[in-house]
Structure 1
Amino acid sequence: MRRLGFLRAVPVTARGIALAASAVVLLATGLRLGYPELVAIGAAAALACLAALSVIAAKPRLEVERGIEPDRVSAGQDATVSLAVKNIGRWRAVNARAVDVYGSGPEARRVAVPLARLRPGQTVNASYPIRTRRRGVIDSGPLGIGKRDLLGLAATAGTFGATTRLWVHPKLWMLGRTPDGLARSLEGATDKVEQGSLTFHSLREYVIGDELRHVHWRTSARIGQLMVKEHVDTSLPTVVIALDDRPEAWPDADCFEAACEASYSILTACFRAEYHAALVPASGATVSGAGRDSYGDLLAELACDATETLDTYVSKLTGGRFGDTLVWITGTEPPADRLATLKRAYPTVIAVHLAPDLATSAALVGGLPFLRAADGEQFAAAWDGGGTAL
């Protein structure tokens, strides 16, 4: 077995091995029996093998710059990979086959990149599109280079450059309404659940138009750049997306894609309304108080493989109190008893049930809004047409 592994590591093709063995036999037979013709043929075969090895021994020296524009798209949109391949060697031109790869597993795709007679110091640019069909993360690269001599006796391959990642966010459905996060007070007036005003959130670089009274002078003096205190309005509602990504919650895997679309659409509606939002899946990763790309990246990376139990997930949501409006998204009948428990921590709880062939509806069940739909598009219709149920 070790010998076989050694042979696989040698950059010699089956044809090269056969020719080298023939050269040895011809030379030995010709020298032993005194046939100069056999010696000549064996010597020519040996020289061909040596020439092939000398061709592949000179490995190319390449510098590869890679970019993806844009690096974040929604499912169904295209991105473009751009490559700049430079020969940084001093003496030899590169004449090899180059193949770039993006994706992994059955979804992997190979793209040929021409590198014909790339002279020292010369740069060749190439680009190709990545057509996305569904949510996920796509890694592009590294660039693979293969060399083979003219007779096909030896071949070698190597990789150059780093990989670049493309985030494919879920398909976005523009929603016409947003959960308001309002609760009815004991006096009958409608008050926002979180009371307060502007609260310090973070520091950021100064931009023209910022008020000087918000400049954090101590930090600005320390780093040599004007930094401004950024505030958020804590009186605005915080919408929490509880995406149940446990396998038992999704008997149909395609509906989990619809759940990610629903989550992304609600989050986008919250950003448009300048609401705060938090994405809390069962798998543990949580995003809160970040830009929309951070939420989209997490949704792109999510797989339906959380190991937590339903009780553990509910306890996490109850103890965390991530906001005041909770949207529970699942692929099975929403657990009414668990939602009642969550109602103690979240004044507003909305249940979303996504399953194949499910009739689109929005109604109050046990005092809680229940939305039912078969896919992302029907969810958007149920959400916008929910009326007083939401």
Structure 2
Amino acid sequence: MRLTRRGWAVAAAIPLAYGIGEWAGYPFFRALAGIALGAVLAAVLTTVRRPDVTVRRELEPDHVERGTPALARLLVSNNGDRRQPGFTARERVERGESVTVAVRPLSPGEEAPYHYELPTSARGKLTVGPLVLERSDPFGLLRRPLPAGDTATLWVRPKARAARAWSGGHPRHHHEGHTTDDALRGSADLRDVRPYVLGDEVRQLHWKATARTGQLMVRDYVDPEQPRFTLMLDTRPKVLSDKEFEEAVEVAASLVTASTMAGHRCRMLTSAGRDLPTSGGAHAARQLLDVLCEVQQAPGVLALPKSGSEGGCLVVVTGRLRAPDLRELAALRPRFASMVLLGVGTHGLGMQGLGVHGVDGVPGARAISAADAGEAVRRWNAIA
């Protein structure tokens, strides 16, 4: 049990009022001290009983876009055979935020649902809970916090705007030679049989392999003409401010979502070294958005790993480019059929931060400069 500010004031007033009454001989002050002491004792008796309830929390949904409402559903059940007085449930959320729910008195065996909205104004992976039950007295002198239940995770993803999938690039004809280790999937050419992952089509299940291995197996096909899309997100702190970086993350989310949902083989990298290749589809989109949910700024370089797929379109989402950056990008240009440099922020693709737009030194690369994610996606849709 903890005294509130009002409780501390009343507790401090008890000896003070009694002392004044004894020193001055005023019965009123002694009576006032007795009343205050009685209020404190009554508060103790009111809050000493622990709520005999079961609390369950559900997030609806647990993956949302930034700014989209996310609801939590709280089910409170009275486990005892006595009427349960009302109390307060306080939900803790990361970043110092909290949500308060007033739970009404419950009859024996009664269950009551409560809904409340969780904060989704900032991108990130948020830990919701643990829930704290608080019982207080009618005078507000004492409160007793009691942890209840476990924690849940709320994924606040960046907003994915309506973007077009890139239609450029050269097809890869595997029939002109052997297929590579990163061959594409989707055609009628069987390449391998592999374990089932969420998002695979059920019609591709290989029942004989499933019976032999004891786990679901699917046919892995090769599609020589499946488009390739590679996106690199510049996470260097000196390139983008905090606000500009959030806009850049939204641009990346919009482009990779459009690409994967169009069935393109998509690979996303960051300048800090994160590398996530996917084969396209709704499951791949969810994977990439979860990565973008947690990505933070960190030092690095604009360079691709030596291993991994190449070809298709490379999009670099960045900010203020400097001469060494352009040299790195010029070295990457021959490895892709097309390259787009997308600068987000006040200076866009500014050289040395002076706002001089352009990509001189990177032959054949297209440039897009935009102040925010909305403008960047609109200009992307005009050339995609």
Post-superposition CA distance 1:65-113 (Å, at most 9, x none): 22222222223432322111223345461321233344524xx3x4442
- Equivalent residue for 1:5? none
Provide the rounded CA distance (Å) in 1 between the counterparts of 2:119 and 2:9.
44
Q: Aligned partners of 1:351, 1:70: CA distance in 2, in Å?
A: 35
Could you give the per-residue CA deviations for residues 230-258 of structure 1, whole angstroms, max 9, x where no partner exists? 425363343221101110110x3332222
Aligned residue among 34, 55, 62 for 1:71:
62
Distance 1:263 1:228 in 2: 32
User: Does the Cα contact within 8 Å between 2:47 and 2:142 map onto a contact in 1?
Assistant: yes
- Tell me, yes or no, if the aligned pair for 2:52 and 2:78 is still in contact at 8 Å: yes
Displacement after TM superposition at 1:203 (Å)? 1.7
| Residues 246, 357 of structure 1: alpha-carbon distance in 2 compared, 3 angstrom cutoff | closer
CA distance in 2, matches of 1:130, 1:154: 28
Deviates most, 175-184 or 263-272:
175-184
Within 1, Cα distance between the matches of 2:345 and 2:299? 21
Mapping of residues 241-390 of structure 1, within 5 Å: 241-250=231-240, 252-289=241-278, 291-303=284-296, 305-308=297-300, 310=301, 313-314=302-303, 317-324=304-311, 325-333=313-321, 335-343=325-333, 345-356=335-346, 358=348, 366-386=363-383
Equivalent-residue separation in structure 2 for 1:22 and 1:211 (angstroms): 77
Task: State the match for 1:143 in structure 2.
Answer: 131
**Partner Cα separation in structure 2 for residue 318 and residue 19 of structure 1:** 68
1:127 to partner: Cα distance: 0.9
SS in 2 for 1:248: coil
Deviation of 1:343 after TM superposition, in Å, equals 3.1
How do residues 1-390 of structure 1 correspond to structure 2 at under 5 angstroms? 11-13=2-4, 15-17=6-8, 46=37, 48-91=39-82, 93-102=84-93, 104-105=95-96, 108=97, 110-130=98-118, 132-133=120-121, 135-182=123-170, 198-200=190-192, 202-204=194-196, 209-210=203-204, 212=206, 215-220=209-214, 227-233=216-222, 235=224, 236-250=226-240, 252-289=241-278, 291-303=284-296, 305-308=297-300, 310=301, 313-314=302-303, 317-324=304-311, 325-333=313-321, 335-343=325-333, 345-356=335-346, 358=348, 366-386=363-383
What one-letter code is carried by the residue in structure 2 that aligns with 1:57? V
Note if contact 2:86-2:102 (Cα within 8 Å) is conserved in structure 1.
no
CA contact (8 A) 2:20 2:29 kept: yes
Structure 1 segments unaligned to the other structure (5+ residues): 1-9
Compute the displacement of 1:213 (Å): 5.7
Which letter does structure 2 place at the counterpart of 1:298? Answer: V
User: Matched residues in 2 for 1:230 and 1:135: separation?
Assistant: 37
CA distance in 1, matches of 2:141, 2:36: 11
Matched with 2:353 is: none
- Residue 23 and residue 184 in structure 1: after superposition, are their counterparts in 2 closer, same or farther (change >3 A)? closer
User: How far apart, in 2, do the equivalents of 1:375 and 1:258 lie?
Assistant: 6
Q: What is the CA distance between 1:156 and its match in structure 2?
A: 2.0
Q: Which residue of 2 aligns with 1:7?
A: none
Q: Percent identity?
A: 25
**How big is the shift at 1:58?**
1.6
CA apart distance, 1:293: 1.2
TM norm structure 2: 0.75
> 1:183, 1:347 within 8 Å by CA — same for their partners in 2?
no
Pairwise CA distance, 1:137: 3.5
In 2: Cα distance, 1:17 partner to 1:326 partner = 64
Corresponding residue SS for 2:257: helix
Q: What do you get for the CA RMSD once the two structures are aligned?
A: 4.1
Contact kept, 8 Å, 1:239 with 1:326, in 2: the verdict is: yes
The one-character-per-residue Cα deviations of 1:102-152 (angstroms, maximum 9, x if unpaired) are: 4524xx3x4442312123432210113347445333443333322222333
* Conservation of the 8 A alpha-carbon contact between 2:171 and 2:227: no
Please tell me the residue identity of whatever aligns with 1:328: V
Secondary structure of residue in 2 paired with 1:145: strand
Q: Distance between the aligned counterparts of 2:128 and 2:147, measured in 1?
A: 12
Q: For residues 176 and 201 of structure 1, do their structure 2 counterparts lie closer, same or farther at Cα, with a shift above 3 Å needed? A: farther
> Using the alignment, how far apart are the partners of 1:207 and 1:257 within structure 2?
34
* TM-score, L = length of structure 1: 0.74
